[in-house]
Structure 1
Amino acid sequence: MFIDYYEVLEVSPNANSETLERIFRYFAMRYHPDNSETGDEARFSEIVEAHNTLKDPVKRAQYDIAYRDHAGLRRELTEEASNTKGIERDVVI
């Protein structure tokens, strides 16, 4: 299953490394399991995974290829679902 790391970090795919680092630190402090008020171990793990991928230029380039493929497929499915030409209406008898 494809995980949208940009969505996990709530940043644009065009975000620079400084923005990624700033947002990561914010979410890491917020969702760290040691934070008694807002800690969330599962969310924290997702954030760390997203950050580790997007902070490395090589990993990010590889991820961006998969991201564009996924985004293209999602767009195709949306267009196909909104196309009503092939849908037949039920006939009331």
Structure 2
Amino acid sequence: MPAGGLLLPPVLASRVVNLLSDESRSLSVSIKTLSGIIHSLMDRRAALDLLIVFLLSGILSVSEILKKLLCSAVTDRIILMKFSTQ
């Protein structure tokens, strides 16, 4: 028996090497699959982030428009009040 390891018969050693090789390939495929899933999720996240930014900018724009309309309405009312009191 060697000092540093286990001595296997050639047939068993070949089976072990084949099994390890198959598992290694399977692991590689699993890693590629997970990488694809992660990439897909990141793409979706980026798309959602862009959508949220777009929606928020729209909300802010609507908010700004409403503010301007409100200020305009208040200004018009003040002007009307000034003319009606004269």
Scaled to the shorter chain, the TM-score interval is 0.3 to 0.5
**Higher Cα radius of gyration:** 2
TM (norm. structure 1) is 0.38
Structure number with the higher helix fraction is 2
RCO higher in structure (CA 8 A, sep ≥6)? 1
TM (norm. structure 2) is 0.40
